[in-house]
Every structure is written in C-alpha cells, then in structure tokens.
Structure 1
Amino acid sequence: MSTSAVPSPKTTEVAAPKVPAYRTDLDGLRGIAIALVACFHIWFGRVSGGVDVFLTLSGYFFIGSLVRHTIHSQSSKIGLGETINPSPRMERLFRRLLPALYTLLIGVAILTVVVIAQTRWQNIGNEILASALYYQNYFLAGNSQDYLAASSVNSPLQHLWSMSMQGQFFLGALVVLHLLAGTIKYLGRRFDGLTRPAAIRAIFGIVVGGVALASFIWAQYRSGIDQPYNYYDTLSRLWEPLVGGLLAIWMPAFRVSNRIRGAVTIIALLLIATCGWWIDGVAHYPAALAWVPVGATLMVIWSGQVADNQPLPSPNRALASKRAVWLGSLSYSLYLIHWPLLIFYLTWRQVDHANFVEGAAILIVSLGLSWLMKRYIEDPMRGGGRSAMAHVRWRAHPRLTYTAAVTVVLVIASLTTAGLIKAWDQHVETTRVDTTNLDPALYPGARALLENAQAPALPPQPTPLGAQSDLPQTFFDGVMSEFDVTTPQVGHYGDPNGTWTIALAGGSHTEMWLGALDPIGKANGFQIVTYVKRGCALTTDVNPPYLERNPYPECAEWNDAVMKDLLRIKPDAVVTNSTRPSISGPGDYMPEGYRHTFDKLTSAGIPVVGIRDSPWPHNDEGPITTPDCLSAGGNAKSCGTVRDSALSSVDPALAYAADNPLFHPIDLSDGICTPTFCPAVVGNIMVYRDIHHLTQTYIRTLIQDFSRQLTAALPWTGPPLTTG
C-alpha cells in the first residue's frame, strides 16, 4: 500500500519508492493473527496478542488512507469532497462493519434463549445493545468484568470489546483528521506551504504521534491503578492503532537487502506467535509489554514495503500465499463467530473447557460459518466483492437489490431484538416477588437447619430471576460506594432515635447482613450507620490478593477515611466480616489486615463484632452461580457445596477472640450448612442470589440466630428476637 506523496508543482521533493497498491502479505498476517486468537481462546485460555496485531494494522490502513487521500485530493492542494466531508467514508465504514456484527448479534440473541439460563438473559441483552452501539468495552469495564478465559459462565459477547474500541477509534480518527484537513485547507489559503505533501505529513504525524504518546503514558499509568478497566479503555488502547498510523504517515525508506528484511519478518512472526505464552496479556496489556505484538506488526509492515522492481522477501511471500490470504479475508467474520460458538457449546455441554477434538470441531464450524457470512453478508453489503448477488434484483420489485433486502432484514431484526430485550427487562422487573412476608410455616429457611422445621414441597423463593434483585436496602438507597469512590457514603438504619449506635462497615459481604441487623435495631432501640464499599473489606492491607480488585488503591483510601471517621464518632460497636475463603486451599482464615483493623478499633475502646463469612458456593469445576445453576435444572444438592471445602472445622476468629476481650465472633454457618453440606436451597428459600452473596430473603430467616449471638456479645442489643 503506497505511502508516497505526489510532488507539488511548487516543490522538488523526491517521491518515495512506489509499492503495490494492496499488501496481500498483510492479509496473510491477519490470517495468522485470527488463527492465534481463536486457538488461544479455545484451547489455552490466554490472550495471544492477535488483537493487538489487528489494532496496529487497522491504524496503518485507516490513517494511511486518510492521509493519502488528503494529499492526493487535488495534486498538492487539499480539495473538497471526502477530504472535508467524512460522510462517504463513514458510509463505507458502516457497510463494512455493521452487517456482519448485527447478524451475529441476532444469532446470539436467538441462541441465548435456546441455550442459556433465563437468569443471564438480562445481562446478555444489555451486552447486545452495548455491542450494537459500540460501547461494549466500557460496559464490561464499568461492570468490573475482567477479560477471562473461556468457560460456560462467560458472556458470548465478551470478545466484542475490541470491536467497540476499534469502532470508537475509527469514528474519532475520522472526525479529528478531517477537521485537521479542513483547518489546513483554510490556513493554506494564506500560507501556501501548509498544503505541500511534506507539510501535511508533518502536521498529521505530530498530531497522531502526540496523541499516541499521551495514550501510551496513560496506559502505563493506569496499569498500576486499575488494570481490569485499563484493559478495555479506549484511551489506553489508542496508541496501538495510532503507531500503525504513524508508520503509514512516515515509512522509513532504508535501502536494506531482502535477506535482512526477510530475517526481520521471521523474528517478528516468532514474537507474534509466541508472546501469548510468555506474556500475561490480561495483566499487562496495553502497557509497555504490548509493544511486543505491536512492534512485531510494525516490523512486518516495514519489511514488506518494497519498490515495484524489488520482490517481496520470502517470508512475506509466504504470508501472501493463497491460503494465508484466504484466512485473512475471513478474519473479521471468524473473530465475530468463534467466541460465541465456543461459549454456547460449553454452556450446552455444561463444561468449562473444550478438549482437542471439540475445539477442532468448533474451529471447523466457525470457518464454515465465517465463509457463509463473508459470502452472503459482508461482500454483498460492501457493494460487490465476489458476490454476484449484490446486484441481483427481484422481478416483482425491480428496485429491490440483494443489498437493500439484507439491510432491511437486519434493521428490522435488530430493532425487534432491542424491543425484546427491553420487554424482557420489564418482565424481570415485574417478576420480583415480595418475600418480606412469606409464611414461615411454608418457607422456614434457616429454621429447617437450626430447629429442624419441616418444609412442604414448594418452589423456592425468591425465584432465580427474582434473586438478582434481592439486595440489601443500601443498594436501593445509593449508599453502597462503587469501585472508584474513596469518600465514605454513610447510610442510617435501625432506630433513628436510638441511644446506642452500631457501625456496619466493610464490603458487600458485610453489607448483606443489614437485612438482619436493621430489624434487630428497630426492635431494640439502637441506630445503625453503614460504611460499605463494593469489593472492599475493612482491612489495613494495601492491595491484598483476596480483594475483588488487585491493585485496588481506592479501597485503601476508603479504608483510611472510614477508620478516621469511626475513631471520631466512636460508635458503641463495629460490625464487620472476620474471615474469608482460603486462597490456597479449602476452609477459611482471618487475614492479617483484618487483625490490625480490629486492633486499632479495640485499642480505642470500640467493641468489634466479627461475622464469619458465609461459604462461597463451588464444586470441582469451580464457582457456582446459584440462580443460574437452579435455572438450568439443578437442585439444592447439585448446586450446593461440601462444607469442609468452604469452611474450616473451627471459626478462625475464635483464636483472636481469646486474646482480645473486645472482639466478639459471630458464626452463622450452622444456619446455612448441615454438618457436611451447604445446600443451594434450605427450607424452600434460595440461599444465594449470585456467586457468593446470600439473598436477603434467606438472611431474614437467620434473624433469630443472629440476634441471639449479638445479644450474647453486646447485651444492650437484646433481648433476642424470635421468629414464627
């Protein structure tokens, strides 16, 4: 693809060597990149670096095209038309990207209903809309969804973050560079030198290079602060396509032998092929280590940029082979299709990994579907290609072409899908069951374990759909601090006129106990203030591995602020969690950062009530999302957990309590588990609302046991409440 300038009549610049109008070796590089992406997704559960190759190539082609068109629009002068008006190029961009994407989204919507549990429909529906409108990367980042290896619990649209990022880049680059071209045209009326090819390249290069440098610095900075968000962030990723664009603006024209160029290509291909093994892309991209696949891609682009009378180096000729180019031509469709096909298969089979034979079958089917997508969707909608059907007209409607018909069908289907998603969201809202007044004789919940209460055969409450919204009141009141918040948001519950005060402080596993503590406070005349933050336990540890995010500096800042406030107001007690699941094995433990926090509070004369964390559902295959498991046909046992795999035989907080008289442990495990097993449903009530949080419905059935243990620790909170 030529990057040379057309000389102006007013300049003596020498044009760069001419090169082929189309780089088929880069199509072959696309083929290698998509093969790596698909294979690593299917078999190895790692990031390959193939996406970074795509991003770099996208910038090289897209920005290069914009710059060349600006220079060649009218000799050395910037002309009107597409140079200033981006509409024609935007139309081509939409025709190239949207039809295949929307076809995939329609297919995903259909397969979601057929294969995936109803409890996941709402979230996948939201991701369909996010993908269709090209903000899927920020939807995933905002929902704190790390880019995880493929399994049955993954979203079938997780991979579309990169499509959204590229779409944002294309649109932003198109607008900014066309505005820049318009500015050059306007100023060129007074300063003729600005419209010379060299000046145009210099201006575009300075702007693109400056933004790329700022983006890279931002990516490097954010990698140490919030890497899960950084991975998806367009601002952090921009430098990858922009450095490709820089190479299109300025291509080094060194006179180098083909032997050296070939060696450069081989080294680059080895780096691209192997970097997925020795770089953890999820943990390090798009910061400095992303230069490995990005830099290797730039090396391949440069090594194949030869003059007309010079043959391509042998490795580049291999990339330009028929099979490699054919695979590269399918790269867009294959990228779209392979991941959801893998996720739907794993979900249907109820497994988390595909073996070699299954993976090979998924690849073959993906290739076949990709060819069909390209043949009947991509090529016709782009305005031709090899497909003769692009211009087929029906006799009854002579103006209705194949392209127009497919467009109409996709638009109607997309609108219908969006409408169904909205209707499903409304259905989920209306299917919420008020479980606050369930008949305790029919729905004894924890009493079935604690008191051997009998439960008749009834469908459990809440329903799997309703469980998703069975949340603590703090969520609805907006006093649960989100991940990026460092200033405590204080909620007020219990008896507002109470003379005693309990501070409920910690993460979501502390927050969920408000469902028991609030009614106890109202009945016994003490007030409750809440300091709760998502994924952030009350700890002195900075970025410990047990937190939901790592690193998580906002948690440390929030903890410092909460501790200062607690020491200032001196509540009559602090209630928080005292244990967590063990990181390296079965059972649970008390982290050292918890101990130091308890030491600080009790040293100030503030009693601490430590609630043992509830068991986190899991089996040999991994974590269990209870509503999904039950919705997919599971039961209390198949969706449950062996007790000693989640809980140690003795509450780990007891040893600390023996040395600190102001620390009072509470253990509600016997109200959640039998001596050997923790069922998913107890006393006709679903125990968990997600992967490890108890439903508020179930917590309300633990009020009596909670109140009894709380009164034993803090007599002023009694007398114990009773239920039934």
Structure 2
Amino acid sequence: MPASTDRPATATAPTVPAYRSDLDGLRGIAIALVACFHVWFGRVSGGVDVFLTLSGYFFIGSLLRHTIHSQSVSFGLAETINPWPRFQRLLKRLLPALYTVLIGVVILTVLVIAQTRWLNIGRETFASALYYQNYYLAKNSQDYLAASSANSPLQHLWSMSMQGQFFVGALIVLLAIAGLIKVAGRRYEMLTRAGVIRGVFAVVVAAVAVASFVWAQHRLHVDQPFNYYDTRSRLWEPLVGGLLAIWMPRWPIADRIRSAVTVAALVLIATCGWWIDGVAEYPGALAWVPVGATLLVIWAGQASDRPAPAANRMLASRPAVWLGGLSYSLYLIHWPLLIFYLTWRGTQHANVLEGAGILAVSLGLAWLMKRYVEDPLRGGGRSSMAHIRWPAHPRITYAAILTVMLVAMSAGTAGAIRAWDRHMATVTVDTANLDPALYPGARALLENAPVPALDPQPTPLAVADDLPQTGPDGFMSDFAATEPAIGVYGDPHGTRTLALAGGSHAEMWIGALDAIGKANGFKVLTYLKMGCPLTSDENPTKLEGTPYPECRTWILNVMADLERTRPDAVFTNSTRPDPSGAADHVPQGYIGIFDELTGAGIPVVGIRDDPWPHNDRGPINTPECLAAGGTARSCGTVRTSALHPVDPATDYAARNPLFHRLDLSDGLCTADFCPAVVGNIIVYKDYHHLSATYVRSLTRELSRQLSAALPWTGPEIH
C-alpha cells in the first residue's frame, strides 16, 4: 500500500538526501495501476510491491541516518534508542485516514451489505484497525482475486497491516542496533564511523531479506494463499529497498542510459500485471520484476551533480506528483467504493463507464481526505479550514477536534460491532427438535409433506453456524493435521461399525448417520479432515488449487487404519462438481480409493455430492442471498447445471458389487430445480455445504437407502 514515511527530521541537513519528486510520481503511477487493475481487469498489478519497496527505501534510510547522526556527543543513549518520535509520526501519517475509511465502511456495510456479512466485516474492521488484517485473511484463506460483490470491502488493507508490522519491527530492531553501536562506540571508536554503521545495517538487513525471500519461495508451493499475505514472506520487498538506501551504487553512466533504464523499468512495472499472475506468484521470485524495476528507478534518478534523467523528470511532473500525493487516500478508498457499488448493483464486475465513474469518485474523495484529514493531522501543510475562528484556547485546533471525532466515532463503531456480535449470539435457534409438521424440510420433496407459511429455519443470520457436531467435538482435523482424530458416534457399544471418511462434504452427513446408528445399534467412526476427500491422487490440492501434501499423508494414514481395523463399511463421497464442464462426475482418484477398499474386502457406500448452488453470475452464498432479499427460487440452482440426469457413480456400482451408491438428490431438488429453501428449512449454510438442520430432515431417506444397501444397518427409520 502507498503509505510511506517521508524524509526524517532527525538527521542534520547535510545528511538528508535531496527530495525525490520523481519517486512521488512513481507512487502516482503505482496507485493508478493498482486502482485500474482492481476496477477493470481483476488482476494484481504489482503496484503494491512498488509501494513496499519505496517504503523500505525511505524508512530504513531514515533510521540509518539517525543512527549515524546519533553517534555525535550531543546524543545520549535514551535519545538514540527512543522509538516514540518516529512512532508518533507513523501514527499521525497512517491512522487518521485509515480510521476515517473504516468508519465509512462500517456505515455503508449496514446500509448496503446483507446482515449475514456484518459480523465478518466487523471482525475485519478490528483486524484492520489493529494492523493484523493480513493474517486474518491468511487464516481464512481469502484469495486476493478479481473484485466481485462477494469480496470484503476491507480486503485490500492486508498490505497496510503488513507494512505497519514492517515499520514497527524495523523501528525496534534497528534502533536497538543503534543503541548497541552507541554503547560499544564509547570503547571502540571505529564503530561510530559511518562506513562501519552502514556495514552493520547492510549485514542485518540483507540477512533478514534473504531469509524472507527463501521462506516466500518455499511457501509458494506449500500454501500460496497464506503465503501471499504472510509478513514473513513479504519482508524482503521493503528490505531490498532499504539495502539501496544503505548503499547506492554511483556508477558514472551517461544520462541517456539512465533515462533508458527508467523507461524500461516503468514498462516492466506497467505491464507485469498482464504477464504475471501475481496472486499465484507473489511474493516469490517473480515479484522481483516490480521490486527490481522500482530499485532501478530509484538508482537511475539518484541525486548527482547533473540534472536528473529525462524519464525521471517526467515522473516529477506536476500531474504525476499530484497523483502520488493522493496515493495513500486513493488506495484506501477505491476498493471499498468498488465493492459497495458492485454489491448495490448486484453484479460481479464493473463495465468501462462504471469503472471510470468509480475511479473519478475515488479521486474526489481521496482529494477531500488528504486536504481535510491527512494534512491537518500530519501537520504537513496548512489546513483549508485554518481560517475558522476557534475558541481562544491553545489546545483547541482543527486537528484536535478531528482527532477527538475520529476516536469517538471509532469507539462507537467498535461498540456497535460488539453489540451486533452479542445480538448474533441470541439469533441462533435450537433447530435440533423442530416440529416436522411445521418444518418438514426434505420431506416436502420426498413425501409431498405440506408446508405451512412460516419463516425458514435456521434464519439466514444463524445458518452459517449450523454445523455438524464433529467440528465442535474436535473430530474435524484441520489443514495441518496428518493423523486422523477419530470420533465415535451412533451406538458406541454397537457390534457393527460404519466408518465415515473424507472431507467436509462427508462430514455433512454425520447428523443423520448418528441418529440412524443410535436407532439401529451400530457404531459410526469418523475420519474427517478439512478439504480432504478420500482420493488416490498423489498430489491433492485444496479447493483453490494450491498443493495439499498434508491431505495425502492423512489419507495414507486413514487407509492404513481402515485396512487394519476393517470396519463393516466405509461411507464417503462418490461424486464432485466436474471442473471441465457442467454437472457432476466421479473423479478418478475416488475410484482408486473405492478399488483399494473393496479389493481389501471392505464395502464402500458412496453418497452423491449435493448440487453446489450457482447461477450465470457465479457461485451463490445461500444465507447471504436470502438475507439480501432473495427467495428460494432466486437463490436456487437449475438442476441440470449441477447434476447429471443419472448418478455418475451408477456404472461403477454396476461393475463392483461391494460398492453401494446412494443418491439423495431428489431430497434436494425438484425434477428441474434445486431451491435454496425447502420445507421451511434453509438448505445450505454457505456456498456448497448443507445445513445440519436440513441434513437431519434427510435422515429418513438416508436410512431407507442405506438399509437397502447394507441390511445390517437396520430397518428404515420412520
């Protein structure tokens, strides 16, 4: 993000480098790329990497000059290591505009966005205000992909959090080094020399930068969604900018060559968003393209006894510098404005005219933000409201009043979010014992049960928490786990055992299987792991396509345990949406598992996956769609777009007598449509998982089909 510290006030005038207006212009180009790529192209431009590199160049350069200057006799140890002056300037520079935007986002969230998303946006507001938004997003695996109405209006603030963490970390570490040099310099005078100090800084900064880059490259192929947001993986970008501030090569090169270098670097910065998939590749080796290009611009335009090269003078032009001055506010504003507009319009993308309008409004708001919020509270520039006659009190100023207002509104916003959190806790209704006459659920489709006119349960606000019991019980292994956490359900003392194994789409059925097991005296053992269906694929991936080696290890351990304990049958998924076309299919990796288990003499019950809700605009988050005013129809799915007319596992079942297929699609869909609400029960708790309440309404049909496949599971439940 474009927030970066200006030149320090601590160093004496001769040590402060000449002001680089061309780098302000580079900020302007970078923010233009970021905004345009977000609004129109749905790609990562590399502009954020430019900002990070510039921030490191200025900030570490500032700390270096402070350390060199602090070795003078006039500086005491406390003054040398005191972080407060710089930290105070950071707070003044970063927080006023950020908190103003956060307040605006919360207000617009209440006005524009469905209530189902309020809680998550509230949590992201706290994460952004406290500078850990990048790790909040990393933990929740939110890819930074093309903007759509489903994106968070605060998603872009990951880079602010990362940069804030860098500022604080660099401040603490490098000031500590300055203090050590100050103390050691009293005995070893040579340590106080500028060249030695530069060398110490260079070694420390380079070592951390190398470690960060190696970590980023390693994690690129392990967990890229997390890696993208991880400060540890991003640190090398500002640090290499800092290395250039520590040591700037001053080779005698002709101005025309330096100008050509700047032009080539600008071309790389402007185009890399097209030929590099930044979401998939940054902050790995390919991030060197925007980062290295930024270093070249800084180097080519360095102060010398000659005028700056022509290309750098172009960067220092008034329009570019003006845009660079707005870069911080524009970065903060453009993304939430885009997301709120897309949500209000109910569309996934902005067209050319809409995008131009969003950018124009963003520019106007950014100018207002800089003039009335940033500049007055930074102390940089005269406020346009300075002519107002304030009461004759030395502490009552525009900046003071604005600060009080921001703090008060932030506190009010925080209170509102906490109140909403408490309200959400009271919204959840116990749906475990709904009256089947009032809430027939799947029985409305399967048995033509009457459906009285009632609001659906769980409510759209509560259904997201309508989870299978295995999760709260601790029997759903997380992404990092490689050993199964085995749960026991049904009748714990039953002589027969049904093993439920796979990912979250197998887990969905535990509510019904638990009831069937209790009623018919068999045990249900669970082998469950997030995002890990049973597959023989040697290189499984997560839903977003990133490698998932932990899944492979977990499956091998589960299969070994199943073949050792030999349950009476294994219950797992048999189909999945087909990535190469409409409807569903049986992945080849599933067949490999079916062959292995049945080859060992263990029967397999394969249940057809549910239809994943979507329409021509993309996936549907059912609770959000309903909360926004949608209906069972408008939030539903055309059956043929999600399910083949015949269960794709039929042919395999015909070839393998130990494989038994179950298909409950008729309990989820009519002959041609899959509604979002059936029998007064909301079908889905998110984009593609069935709500636990709806699964319970399918218990009778699951019992019927299961008893037909495996007679020992008992008679059909009535």
TM-score by length of structure 1 reads 0.96
Give distance in 2, aligned partners of 1:421 and 1:392: 35
Alignment of 1:303-322 (within 5 A): 303-307=300-304, 309-322=305-318
SS of residue paired to 1:394? coil
Q: How much does 1:547 deviate? A: 3.6
Aligned residue number for residue 382 of structure 2: 386
Instruction: Check if 1:135 corresponds to 2:103.
Output: no
Q: How much does 1:454 deviate? A: 1.5
**The one of 98, 112, 116 aligned to 2:113:** 116
Give distance in 2, aligned partners of 1:662 and 1:77: 86
Q: Is the 8 A contact 2:143 2:225 kept in 1?
A: yes
Q: Is the 8 A contact 1:262 1:314 kept in 2?
A: yes
Q: How much does 1:6 deviate? A: 10
SS of residue paired to 2:605? strand
**The one of 359, 364, 370 aligned to 2:360:** 364
Q: How much does 1:394 deviate? A: 2.0
Q: How much does 1:188 deviate? A: 1.3
What CA RMSD, in Å, does the superposition of the two structures yield over aligned residues?
1.9
Q: Is the 8 A contact 2:46 2:272 kept in 1?
A: yes
**The one of 544, 551, 558 aligned to 1:555:** 551
Paired letter, 1:174 = L
Aligned residue number for residue 609 of structure 1: 605
Alignment of 1:560-599 (within 5 A): 560-599=556-595
**The one of 135, 141, 146 aligned to 1:149:** 146
Q: How much does 1:302 deviate? A: 0.1
SS of residue paired to 2:525? strand
Aligned residue number for residue 12 of structure 1: none
Instruction: Check if 1:335 corresponds to 2:331.
Output: yes
Instruction: Check if 1:508 corresponds to 2:501.
Output: no
Q: Deviations over 1:378-405 (max 9, x none)?
A: 1111124232546966216552111111
Give distance in 1, aligned partners of 2:392 and 2:66: 41
Alignment of 1:315-714 (within 5 A): 315-387=311-383, 389=385, 394-395=390-391, 397-544=393-540, 547-714=543-710
Instruction: Check if 1:34 corresponds to 2:31.
Output: yes
Give distance in 2, aligned partners of 1:450 and 1:492: 30
Q: Is the 8 A contact 1:265 1:315 kept in 2?
A: yes
Alignment of 1:83-94 (within 5 A): 83-94=80-91
Give distance in 2, aligned partners of 1:143 and 1:571: 35
Aligned residue number for residue 179 of structure 2: 182
Give distance in 2, aligned partners of 1:554 and 1:545: 10
Q: Is the 8 A contact 2:372 2:384 kept in 1?
A: no
SS of residue paired to 2:93? helix
Give distance in 1, aligned partners of 2:602 and 2:195: 72
Aligned residue number for residue 60 of structure 1: 57
Between stretches 330-339 and 432-441, larger displacement belongs to 432-441
Instruction: Check if 1:192 corresponds to 2:159.
Output: no
Q: How much does 1:118 deviate? A: 0.2
Give distance in 2, aligned partners of 1:433 and 1:38: 43
CA change 1:143–1:493 in 2 (3 A) is: same
SS of residue paired to 2:146? coil
SS of residue paired to 2:462? helix
Q: How much does 1:420 deviate? A: 1.2
Aligned residue number for residue 282 of structure 1: 279
**The one of 247, 254, 257 aligned to 2:254:** 257
Give distance in 2, aligned partners of 1:235 and 1:545: 23
Q: Is the 8 A contact 1:26 1:320 kept in 2?
A: yes
Q: Is the 8 A contact 1:446 1:682 kept in 2?
A: yes
Aligned residue number for residue 10 of structure 1: none
Q: After TM superposition, where is structure 1 displaced by more than 6 Å over at least 4 residues in a row?
A: 390-393
Q: How much does 1:492 deviate? A: 1.4
Give distance in 1, aligned partners of 2:445 and 2:297: 66
Q: Is the 8 A contact 1:573 1:607 kept in 2?
A: yes
Q: Which structure 1 segments of 5+ residues have no match?
A: 8-14
Give distance in 2, aligned partners of 1:246 and 1:683: 65
Give distance in 2, aligned partners of 1:596 and 1:445: 35
Give distance in 1, aligned partners of 2:530 and 2:424: 24
Q: How much does 1:692 deviate? A: 0.5
Instruction: Check if 1:107 corresponds to 2:104.
Output: yes
Between stretches 487-496 and 90-99, larger displacement belongs to 487-496
CA change 1:97–1:157 in 2 (3 A) is: same
Give distance in 2, aligned partners of 1:434 and 1:213: 53
Q: How much does 1:489 deviate? A: 1.4
Aligned residue number for residue 51 of structure 1: 48
Aligned residue number for residue 267 of structure 1: 264
Paired letter, 1:663 = F
Give distance in 2, aligned partners of 1:171 and 1:390: 33
Give distance in 1, aligned partners of 2:542 and 2:612: 13
Q: Is the 8 A contact 2:613 2:636 kept in 1?
A: yes
**The one of 287, 291, 298 aligned to 1:294:** 291
Paired letter, 1:605 = G
**The one of 207, 214, 219 aligned to 2:204:** 207
Paired letter, 1:231 = Y
Give distance in 2, aligned partners of 1:41 and 1:486: 38
CA change 1:196–1:396 in 2 (3 A) is: closer
Give distance in 2, aligned partners of 1:258 and 1:78: 40
Give distance in 2, aligned partners of 1:306 and 1:405: 41
Aligned residue number for residue 11 of structure 1: none
**The one of 220, 227, 239 aligned to 1:223:** 220
Between the two proteins, what is the percent identity of the paired residues? 72
Give distance in 2, aligned partners of 1:251 and 1:117: 52
Q: How much does 1:83 deviate? A: 2.8
TM-score by length of structure 2 reads 0.97
Give distance in 2, aligned partners of 1:374 and 1:647: 53
Q: Deviations over 1:592-616 (max 9, x none)?
A: 1111111111111111111100000
Give distance in 2, aligned partners of 1:384 and 1:281: 35
SS of residue paired to 2:465? coil
Q: Deviations over 1:552-597 (max 9, x none)?
A: 1111111112112212221111111010001021110011111111
Paired letter, 2:126 = L
Paired letter, 2:284 = A
Q: Is the 8 A contact 1:117 1:631 kept in 2?
A: yes
Give distance in 2, aligned partners of 1:144 and 1:537: 18
Paired letter, 2:410 = S
CA change 1:78–1:536 in 2 (3 A) is: farther
Aligned residue number for residue 3 of structure 2: none
CA change 1:20–1:70 in 2 (3 A) is: closer
Q: How much does 1:306 deviate? A: 2.7
Alignment of 1:224-243 (within 5 A): 224-243=221-240
Aligned residue number for residue 23 of structure 1: 20
CA change 1:305–1:717 in 2 (3 A) is: same
Q: Name the count of aligned residue pairs.
A: 712
Q: Deviations over 1:601-647 (max 9, x none)?
A: 11111111111000000000000001111111110111000001000
Q: Deviations over 1:399-434 (max 9, x none)?
A: 211111111111111111111111111111111011
**The one of 90, 93, 96 aligned to 2:93:** 96
Q: Is the 8 A contact 1:19 1:306 kept in 2?
A: no
